[in-house]
Amino acid sequence: MFTLLAVHYDDCIPGWNTVREAIPYHVIVLMVEGTATYTINGVTHRVEAGDLLVIPKGTVRAGSNTEAPHRKYTVLFNLIDDANADAQLLLPSHFMRMKISNYEYVLKRFSRLFQERWEGKPYHESICLGILIELLGVAKREPISPAVEPIKFYLARKIHLELQTHYRESIQISELAKLIGRSPNYTIAMFKKALGMTPIEYVHQLRVQEASSLLLESTMSVTEISDYLGFYDTSHFYRVFKKMMKESPSAYITNRKGC
């Protein structure tokens, strides 16, 4: 199957560049923020946030920052057994670049892969391999799935940034629609197609992510966390948290603190 060589998260590295060479491994990249320039077999590509790249072994590749540093995940891997037909099916024969339709989900999988590799807990090798295979499957399937038009991805990204900044506030779909000059129904459908969830579901995801940290690392009560994160009331917070985490806030604390 595959052997994982490295997983990197480039976080705004000044002067980032890679030398021009025929790479001795396969690479899969997710651009998270900003832009970068890749030269692939002599052709220059401007890679933007939301782009997924798969670069096969032997490709002549070079890369550098554009206007400013960027953020991206990079995974290096190789094929152990060239005769493995299943593994060969997952590997493209040529360079692939695509906009990912379910970007938030794919971003979470890259993040989990990086975390598992970095922490090195028991069985992390199997978990990392499973995530890598999933990401390669997503990359092979994406070109035959309905594409997200560039304008829709741009508008979804605009809302995405707005929600990241104001997720603790009351979210009105009508205001998000005004932000991009579209109708509320269009706004919901477009965002879901681009990111795989509605704006409200994304806000809940952000709130629950922060709640998970606050429950374990702060002295705030469940009611205080609920109010702080902008939920209607504590019971609403409980319902949303349990739906996403598959356990209640109190069970979440008990299972992780062992108390």
Direct distance between the N- and C-terminal alpha carbons of the chain, in angstroms, rounded to an integer: 41
Q: Is 201 in contact with 167 (CB distance < 8 Å)?
A: no
Domain at 234, CATH number = 1.10.10.60
Instruction: Give me the pLDDT at residue 88, please.
Output: 73
Residue-number span of the structural domain to which 161 is assigned:
150-196
Q: Domain count of the chain?
A: 3
Instruction: Please enumerate in sequence order all residues whose Cβ is within 8 A of that of 135, keeping only pairs 6 or more positions apart, or say none.
Output: 28, 75, 106, 109, 110, 113
Q: At what angle do helices 199-217 and 173-180 cross, to 10 degrees?
A: 120
Instruction: Give me the pLDDT at residue 259, please.
Output: 46
Residues 12 and 74 in one domain: yes
Instruction: Give me the pLDDT at residue 193, please.
Output: 78
- Token code pair at residue 45: 């590509």
Q: Is 105 in contact with 116 (CB distance < 8 Å)?
A: no
Domain at 83, CATH number = 2.60.120.280
Residues 11 and 107 in one domain: yes
Instruction: Give me the pLDDT at residue 98, please.
Output: 85
Tell me how far CA of residue 68 lies from CA of 34, 36, 64, 87, 107, in angstroms: 7, 8, 10, 37, 21
β-partners of residue 215 are none
Residues 24 and 106 in one domain: yes
User: At 198, which helix (H) or strand (E)?
Assistant: none
CA angle 9, 11, 16 (to 5 degrees): 95
Length of the chain measured in residues: 259
Residues 134 and 12 in one domain: yes
β-partners of residue 2 are 79
Residues 162 and 207 in one domain: no
In angstroms, rounded to a whole number, what is the distance separating the alpha carbons of residues 168 and 161? 13
Instruction: Give me the pLDDT at residue 156, please.
Output: 86
Residues 45 and 132 in one domain: yes
Residues 234 and 155 in one domain: no
Residues 15 and 70 in one domain: yes
Tell me how far CA of residue 240 lies from CA of 34, 192, 208, in angstroms: 32, 19, 8
Residues 6 and 114 in one domain: yes
Instruction: Give me the pLDDT at residue 55, please.
Output: 93
Q: Which of 80, 55, 73, 61 is nearest to 4 (CA)?
A: 80
β-partners of residue 221 are none
Tens-digit pLDDT string for the chain (259 aa): 789 999 999 998 888 888 899 999 999 999 998 889 999 988 898 898 889 999 999 999 999 988 778 899 999 999 886 656 666 778 877 888 888 777 888 999 999 999 999 999 889 999 999 999 999 988 887 765 555 677 887 888 889 889 989 999 998 999 999 999 999 999 999 888 777 788 998 899 889 888 988 998 899 999 999 999 999 899 999 999 988 888 899 888 887 765 4
